[in-house]
């Protein structure tokens, strides 16, 4: 598949099956089978009888990667400032399917607790503060689907493993605009997260502060939310103006 993508990227015009087979060294039947699967997923398009070109799905993925890179570039100076003010680990997480992936982090260097929020680490949505932000965005129906799909596995005694408990927690997140992880992914570690939105108002990341439970302070919520708002503004988000009565 990667060979085919590379060859297609070299050509400005649609490429024939025969030419693709020749340049990749793949058997024509193998080439056709892989191209059919790629076309079904939008990675390539049939431009005409027996000819192919790169598909729109690659543009969508490219834009997604670009947006994440821009978020990281815009977020890091503000994350470092927040780190200096609070003195604890500051994390930036994005959603991939039913998990949060941490794409940036500033380390406190103070904690004896093993912090799970390492760059590249993944965690289920329902046991992370950032993940709860995305579940709120999904709405009740999709949250129920998520619960059925995953079974809401627990990791610690405080993990939310029932739909009713999760829904109650998400209602709290919805009302307060920030989310908390109360030692739900790792005992002894607590977290606060606030949403980061792009220029279209879409939730694209979550900014969080994680700290050992004994150093955690709920009043960090305001500064985490304000910093997340600054990151959102830096990538083009404009808060809607509330109309008075």
Domains of the chain (ranges, CATH numbers): 1-60 (1.10.10.10), 69-235 (3.30.450.40)
pLDDT bin (cut points 50, 70, 90) of residue 114 is very low
Task: Give the whole-angstrom CA distance, residue 154 versus residue 171.
Answer: 20
Q: Where are the beta strands (DSSP E) in 71-188?
A: 89-96, 99-106, 122-124, 179-182
Q: Which two structure tokens, joined as six digits, stand for 165?
A: 């408990």
- pLDDT per residue as tens digits for the range 142-163: 999 999 999 999 999 999 999 9
Tokens found for residue 151: 């079974």
Of 183, 227, 184, 190, which Cα lies nearest the Cα of 205?
227
Give the pLDDT band (50/70/90) at residue 107.
confident
Q: What is the mean pLDDT of residues 118-137?
A: 91
| The pLDDT of residue 112 is above 50 | no
Q: What is the pTM of this model?
A: 0.70
- With b for 16 or more beta-carbon neighbours within 10 A and e for fewer, the 210-244 pattern comes to bbbeeebeeebbeebbebbbbbbebbebeeeeeee
Q: Residue 145: what pLDDT?
A: 97
């Amino acid at each position: 598949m990667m060979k085919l993508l590379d060859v297609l990227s070299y050509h400005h015009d649609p490429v024939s099956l025969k030419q693709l087979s020749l340049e990749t060294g793949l058997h024509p039947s193998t080439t056709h089978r892989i191209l059919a699967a790629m076309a079904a997923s939008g990675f390539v398009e049939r431009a005409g009888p027996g000819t192919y070109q790169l598909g729109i799905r690659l543009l969508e993925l490219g834009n997604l990667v670009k947006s994440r890179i821009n978020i990281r570039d815009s977020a890091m100076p503000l994350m470092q400032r927040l780190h200096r003010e609070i003195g604890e680990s500051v994390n930036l997480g994005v959603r991939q399917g039913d998990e949060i992936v941490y794409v940036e982090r500033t380390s406190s260097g103070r904690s004896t607790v093993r912090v799970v929020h390492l760059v590249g680490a993944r965690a289920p949505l329902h046991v992370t503060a950032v993940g709860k932000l995305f579940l709120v965005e999904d709405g009740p129906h999709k949250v129920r689907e998520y619960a059925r799909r995953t079974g809401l596995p627990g990791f610690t005694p405080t993990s939310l493993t029932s739909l009713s408990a999760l829904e109650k927690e998400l209602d709290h997140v919805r009302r307060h605009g920030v989310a908390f992880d109360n030692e739900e992914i790792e005992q002894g570690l607590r977290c606060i997260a606030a949403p980061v939105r792009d220029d279209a108002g879409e939730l694209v990341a979550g900014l969080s502060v994680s700290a050992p439970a004994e150093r955690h302070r709920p009043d960090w919520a305001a500064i985490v939310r304000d910093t997340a708002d600054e990151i959102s503004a830096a990538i083009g988000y404009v808060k809607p103006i509330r109309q008075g009565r």
